[in-house]
Amino acid sequence: MVLDDTTLIQALGQMPQLDAPSPLSNSVDQREPDRNSSPLLPPDLAAVLEAIPTEPVKVDTIVQQVARPTGEILGILVQLEMMDMVTQLPGDRYQRR
């Protein structure tokens, strides 16, 4: 089924204005986050982050320290990398930023 633009807009309902400034934008602190302070992270992310030193460490070492499935650790590492808290290095190694 192919919808024309009018039907699609009606089906989606009212769309938010993406270019409009947020009412909180003036009150939110726009400074760069401090990477040395630990933000409030969910326990699983915090456990993995604590297992990563500032020196490069292999994923296998992180998995052993945290004692969780490898797939779960890899997913958490991706999240921490997207949060700019760790960096991935060649050879399946990670280090804290």
Strands (E), the chain: 57-58, 86-89, 93-96
Buried b (16+ CB within 10 A) or exposed e, 43-53: eebebbbebbe
- Could you give all domains of the chain from N- to C-terminal order, each with its CATH number? 44-97 (1.10.10.10)
pLDDT digits (tens, 9 = 90+) for 33-64: 444 445 688 999 999 999 999 999 999 999 99
Q: Which residue's entry shows tokens 């797939």?
A: 71
Hey, which of 6-15, 36-45, 61-70 has the most confident mean pLDDT? Answer: 61-70
- CA 41 and chain centroid, separation: 10
